[in-house]
Structure 1
Amino acid sequence: MDPLKYDLSANADFTVFEFTSTGKNGTIHKAIKYTQTLNANVFNLGFGDIIFSDDTITEIDDTNLSNNGDLNSIIATVVHSAYIFTEKYPDAYILFGSSDTAKLRLYRMFLSHNLAAISKSFLVFGAMHNEQGQLVNVPFSAAEDIIGYFGRRK
């Protein structure tokens, strides 16, 4: 097992993954959700602290910054969930972004620093609105400010 990533538990269709962050603020229960968009092949990746969970629904707070001191483990866990998710849904595009510019910058930095390794398994694109207001993919650029990212398994 990769010592950086947390153990995941998944729902039956592998669209919700739960794990526990352990760090300087204690244990925090978190979830990663892949939600199908209006485009059947595009799934939004949502991530955050669990605020409610039962057998049928998991609600997350994706605005809270836990600052639990385990960012590398959390990123490794989210990436691991993307591998598992795309094994089940190989034609899916994963969309992720944030209205928080600091989070978007973090995502861009992570992708930029790890692009060679990520590109072995995934195609990575930027996400922008076109003139009609539709969300489209564009070539990934570490220098460009965009609203999010798409990833797709090769």
Structure 2
Amino acid sequence: MTKQVLFTPTLIPYIFNLAFGDINEYGNLDDLSISNNGDRNKILATIVNVVDRYTNRFPERYIFFAGSTEHRTRLYRMAISLHLEELSETFDILADLNGNWEFVPFHKELNVKAFLVKRKLIKFEI
């Protein structure tokens, strides 16, 4: 099954929604499909790679994402938690706890509804 990552603008300037899923028989992205082919870790690593490349090209943009189900959001939280130290070197990672677009810095113990990430700006002195 062909997969797709799609970035679309939201109503809030500089915030883009990340959508991910299978391409269905009609050519549309289906974010509710379940492949069950054992490639979850490869898919998550690919999504991180795509976000890394996207935010490298557009460092001023924030990426908003949530799972299409509560289970998938929990999966994203677990994956981010597992790699938090490494991801935090490149990204500011924020969490929405109530689904009301009020974000706080992410840490492992949070019960998260959605995420907002942004590439950190590199600071250096001349």
Amino acid at match of 2:117: G
Would you say the 8 A contact 1:99–1:147 is kept in 2? no
Within the alignment, does 1:152 sit opposite 2:112 as a pair?
Answer: no
Kept in 1: contact 2:77–2:112 (CA 8 A):
no
**Cα offset, 1:128, TM superposition:** 4.0
Q: Give RMSD over aligned pairs.
A: 1.5
TM-score, length-normalised on structure 2?
Answer: 0.87
2:15 counterpart (14, 19, 42): 42
The equivalent of 1:20 in structure 2 is none
CA distance in 2, matches of 1:100, 1:107: 11
User: Following the alignment from structure 2 to structure 1, what is the Cα–Cα distance between the partners of residues 14 and 75?
Assistant: 26
Distance 1:146 1:87 in 2: 25
- Correspondence for 1:90: 59
Aligned-pair identity in percent equals 36
Count residues with an aligned counterpart. Answer: 119
Structure 2 CA distance for aligned equivalents of residues 140 and 74 of structure 1: 22
Indicate the residue corresponding to 1:69 in structure 2: 38
The one-letter code matched in structure 2 to 1:87 is N
* Contiguous gaps of at least 5 residues in structure 1: 1-27, 54-58
CA distance in 1, matches of 2:51, 2:42: 14
**In 1, Cα distance between equivalents of 2:54 and 2:40:** 21
TM-score by length of 1: 0.72
Give unpaired runs (5+ residues) of structure 2. Answer: 121-126
Instruction: Decide whether the 8 Å contact of 2:6 with 2:19 is kept in 1.
Output: yes
1:112 alignment partner AA: S
User: Residues 86 and 153 of structure 1 are in contact (CA less than 8 Å); yes or no, is this contact kept in structure 2?
Assistant: yes
Partner of 1:138: 104
